[in-house]
């Protein structure tokens, strides 16, 4: 088995995908994780935000962006004039990759093979929601959505053509990747999201 393909339902729904992914053995990441974390959000959403993978809290709760990074994300959305209820959230990889030291679980970025193995879920999610815009939060998400390596610095903030001609934008993943913490994270977000929101491509 090289990817999640065999586990993805032929006629996907959001709930059906979420249920089916719990049985996925498309790579080894399910072994040490609590559960697969998939698409979550509003049925009215015209925008999908794609993160890297669930973190510790997401792994326990089964929802994307509910931990500390989720708080930063919520702030950034407010700054961009968006509400969490207006977006769908998901990740490039559905199981939490980590290593354990004592009682702490330390995040480990997914490798290319994990992005590739997990891609059928992301593809099905985008098919189900059929958003107007896909926002990739960082290099892993960008790579997964666009199917090629991305350069955040050079490509962020412009509207790229994603699969099926879908408008796709790339921005940074987390505040630690840009000095200044929360404020810098917000600043890196707003230029990306705000113009799209104003154009009306994020609603309706
Ligand atoms: N970071 C991500 O990329 N995704 C999450 O769900 C949480 C933190
Ligand atoms: Fe399947 Fe993705 Fe989990 Fe790997 S990370 S087991 S491909 S759902």
Q: Which helix (H) or strand (E) holds 48?
A: strand 47-51
Give per-residue pLDDT as tens, 25-74.
999 999 999 999 999 998 888 999 999 999 999 999 999 999 988 888 88
The answer to whether residue 197 scores a pLDDT higher than 50 is no
Q: Which residue in 7, 22, 27 sits closest to 115, CA to CA?
A: 27
Structure tokens at 127: 């098919």
ipTM > 0.95 for the complex: yes
199: left (phi over 0), alpha (psi -120 to 50) or beta: alpha
Find the ligand nearest to 141 CA. 1
Q: Is the CB of 144 under 6 A from ligand 2?
A: no
Domains and CATH numbers, the chain: 5-199 (3.40.470.10)
User: Which atom of ligand 2 sits closest to the CA of residue 4?
Assistant: 7
Give per-residue pLDDT as tens, 105-127.
999 999 999 999 999 999 999 99
DSSP readout, 128-194?
HH--SEEEEESHHHHHHHHSS---HHHHTTS-EE-GGG-EEEEE-S-GGGSTTTHHHHHHHHHHHHH
Q: Is the CB of 115 under 6 A from ligand 2?
A: no
Under 8 Å between Cβ of 170 and 155: yes
Task: Give just the sign of the alpha carbon dihedral 46, 47, 50, 54.
Answer: negative
How confident is residue 79, by pLDDT bands cut at 50, 70 and 90? Answer: confident
Find the ligand nearest to 95 CA. 2
Q: Whose CA is nearest to atom 4 of ligand 2?
A: 27
CB neighbours of residue 103 within 10 Å = 5
Computed over every residue of the chain, the mean pLDDT equals 86
Q: What's the pLDDT at 65?
A: 94
């Amino acid at each position: 088995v090289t990817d999640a393909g065999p586990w993805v339902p032929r006629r996907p729904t959001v709930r059906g995908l979420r249920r089916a992914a719990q049985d996925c053995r498309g790579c080894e990441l399910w072994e040490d994780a609590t559960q697969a974390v998939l698409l979550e959000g509003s049925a009215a959403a015209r925008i999908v935000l794609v993160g890297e993978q669930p973190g510790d809290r997401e792994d326990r709760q089964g929802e994307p962006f509910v931990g500390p990074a989720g708080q930063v994300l919520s702030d950034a959305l407010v700054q961009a004039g968006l509400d969490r209820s207006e977006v769908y959230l998901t990740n490039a990889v559905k199981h939490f990759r980590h290593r354990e030291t004592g009682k702490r679980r330390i995040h480990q970025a997914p490798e290319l093979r994990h992005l590739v193995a997990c891609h059928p879920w992301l593809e099905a999610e985008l098919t189900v929601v059929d958003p107007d815009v896909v926002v990739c939060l960082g290099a892993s998400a960008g790579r997964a959505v666009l199917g090629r390596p991305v350069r955040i610095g050079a490509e962020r903030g412009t509207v790229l053509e994603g699969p099926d001609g879908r408008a796709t934008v790339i921005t940074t993943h987390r505040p630690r990747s840009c000095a200044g913490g929360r404020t810098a994270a917000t600043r890196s977000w707003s230029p990306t999201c705000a113009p799209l929101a104003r154009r009306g491509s994020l609603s309706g």
